[in-house]
């Protein structure tokens, strides 16, 4: 069962998210020598850019030099394009982290969608030798008003993908159309998933996912974000009050 934590505003949520990342990093580095982190884009970028550097200063064992960072999805645009997730993290967050920097698996620019997905999956497999399905220590995910997460959209054929770790699409319902994305088998192999949602526009879909009416349960459970079901890991939702306002289930209300 997923844990659901609710914060008064995105500011408090962002600080808690950053502390969670820093604590997970310190624990992973202490136990295994490295921390493997998957990042999603959108509103997560400024949240982490604002809060994570300070959280790392308060958690010296987190050691960003021991991190392996990958992207949960990427838009196939040049790295300097404003829609580039990697470009946004490079300019807003990674430039603030202490040296030596994390090892980042960048999506190779200039390839076609299928070749980009194949190349990025190859990078992942090299970074997790001996693991049939890599197990990230932590994946940070968002959710759209339509229930999409990463670049997995409602009703899309990629939701049925079981063989590839990384797949591609050329018909994203949200521009830009060409993207690569982690697939559900890779997402659900993670040791921990944190799903972040803020704002009133997310409230209806959060209600559908976390508290679906019985007559809509089957439809709601088919939404991409509702299919985040870690096989042996932890799933936690971080919401602000606006995103959680339609929920009636027991919640952890955070200061």
pLDDT of res. 218 = 79
Ranges of residues in the chain with a pLDDT under 50 are none
Q: Report pLDDT digits (tens) over 15-64.
A: 999 999 999 999 999 999 999 999 999 999 999 999 999 999 999 899 99
- Strand, coil or helix: what is 1? coil
- Average per-residue pLDDT in the chain? 94
Question: What is the distance between the terminal CA atoms of the chain, rounded to a whole angstrom?
Answer: 23
CA gap 251, 24 in Å, rounded: 22
Structure tokens at 139: 């994946």
Rama region for 118: left / alpha / beta (φ>0; ψ in -120 to 50; rest): alpha
pLDDT of res. 216 = 77
DSSP labels, 71-140: ESEEESS-TTSTT-HHHHHHHHTGGGSPSSPPEE-PPPTTS-HHHHHHHHHHHHHHHSTT-SS---SEEE
pLDDT of res. 220 = 77
Q: Report pLDDT digits (tens) over 62-71.
A: 999 999 999 9
Domain boundaries in the chain? 3-253
DSSP labels, 135-198: --SEEEEE--TTS-BTTB-TT-GGGG--S-SEEEES--SSSS--EEEE-HHHHTTSSEEEEEE-
CATH of 3-253, one of 1.10.287.110, 3.40.50.1360, 1.10.150.120, 2.60.40.10: 3.40.50.1360
- pTM listed for this prediction: 0.96
């Amino acid at each position: 069962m997923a844990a659901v934590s609710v914060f008064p505003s995105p500011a408090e949520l962002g600080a808690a998210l950053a502390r969670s990342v820093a604590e997970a990093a310190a624990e992973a580095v202490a136990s295994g020598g490295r921390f493997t982190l998957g990042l999603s884009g959108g509103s997560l970028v400024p949240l982490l850019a604002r809060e994570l550097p300070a959280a790392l200063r308060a958690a010296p064992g987190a050691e960003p030099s021991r991190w392996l960072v990958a992207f949960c999805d990427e838009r196939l645009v040049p790295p300097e394009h404003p829609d580039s997730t990697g470009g946004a993290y490079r300019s807003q967050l990674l430039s603030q982290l202490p040296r030596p920097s994390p090892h980042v698996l960048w999506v190779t620019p200039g390839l076609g969608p299928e070749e980009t997905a194949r190349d990025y999956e190859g990078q992942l497999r090299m970074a997790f030798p001996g693991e049939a399905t890599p197990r990230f220590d932590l994946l940070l995910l968002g959710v759209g008003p339509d229930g999409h997460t990463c670049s997995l959209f409602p009703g899309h054929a990629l939701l049925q993908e079981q063989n590839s770790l990384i797949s591609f699409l050329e018909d994203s319902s949200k521009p830009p159309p060409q993207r690569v994305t982690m697939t559900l088998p890779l997402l659900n192999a993670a040791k921990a998933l944190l799903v972040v949602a803020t704002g009133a526009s997310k409230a209806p879909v959060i209600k559908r996912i976390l508290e679906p009416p019985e007559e809509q349960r089957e439809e709601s459970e088919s939404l991409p974000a509702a299919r985040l079901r870690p096989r042996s890991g932890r799933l936690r939702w971080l919401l602000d009050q606006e995103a959680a306002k339609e929920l009636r289930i027991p919640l952890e209300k955070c200061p």
